Structure 1
Amino acid sequence: MKQLLRTLWRWFVSWNVGVIVAVTTFFLTDFRFFPSFLSGMGAMLATSFVMKKRDGKITPGGLLKEEKVYIHSQLHEARKKWKQMRIARFRVRSLVMWQKISRICTAVDKMIRAVEQHPHQFRLAQSFFLNELPMAVTMIEKYVYLINQPVRNQEMKEALWKTERLLDEVAASAERRLLEILSNDVFDLQVETKLLEQSLEQQKLPETIK
């Protein structure tokens, strides 16, 4: 259906561009029909070709192929960061920290999966994948390295404590982004639920009349 609409739109635009060029040429060439006709046809075909070429770069999800390639590469990098967090988690000796990192891992995994299904939602997760996620991974790896050292001073303790506190904020941020990504699915479910309720009510109405 979308392909048909794009084709009709391309014909409409091409035809109008051709007519405008033809009429303009007709007046500029002292009302000569043949040059006007050729100019109009040329403009129409050129416009149609350019629009068709652009449509060929659009994926079924409505994204340009270049955009889809970029999103795929960013999701690949996000998945690598996610794996780094999972590996680092196994080197943590604290159950509390295990839970904090697991909470982030779960949210990130769900975000990646959601964007894989709906690539157009990548814009909602982009800043998290590009900024917060890499910094969180670096912070976790440094935390794991320091927490496993045999010595510890006050400065190190404060750094470790601050890291533990910030990981809660990272987890909360990831979960907020995930909710934003899922908001369209929630809306679709609400619509489907409403339609189903209406359908069931309509089926009950004849029975009530009887």
Structure 2
Amino acid sequence: MTTALGTLTWERAVDRPDLLAASTHAVISGWAVVEPAVADAVLVAAIDPDLADTAAMTDAYDLPLSASVNCVLVAGRREGVERIAACLVRATTRADVNNAVKRLLDVRKASFLPMDRATQESGMEYGGITPLGLPVGYRVLADAAVADTGAADDGTGGLVVIGSGVRRSKIALPGSLLVRAPGVEVVQELAIG
């Protein structure tokens, strides 16, 4: 399957485990068994790992910034128990960590997980962390705008670009499908401009 999104060559993710973190491939494959349309809707493209960061990737591959969805890991503690969430927000915004995320995790203070912890605990590479395949127990919070196909007339056809668990590729799928991925919770106003 091919799609016209930037200058990348997109293929079915279920057919390219070599371009995905093992946990990401397992989630996509399992999801496709339950929802067969996922096999054709979730795509992957190889990229230069040095261009995995959002700004560099969008410039190098002619992708609209509005199509990129960042996944940031945030943690906080309540009564000695750590609570971790992956926050999905469009790259044109940022997660409202100090208000919305803190409130949703029900913690006094929330902060980004340090890079070494984020990569070690997720089993994913920095610059490729994705909501698909995170450890059990992580909440996955998606800003409602992730699913909004009318958010920008950017020629993406409603597709969003996310990490694949590794720096050498990216995943594209409809934003409306991403928010229906296993374990994802849609949150109004999770992001701020």
TM-score, normalised with respect to structure 1: 0.22
Which structure has more helix as a fraction of its residues? 1
TM-score, normalised with respect to structure 2: 0.23
Structure of larger gyration radius: 1
Compare relative contact order (CA 8 Å, sep 6+) and give the higher one, 1 or 2: 2
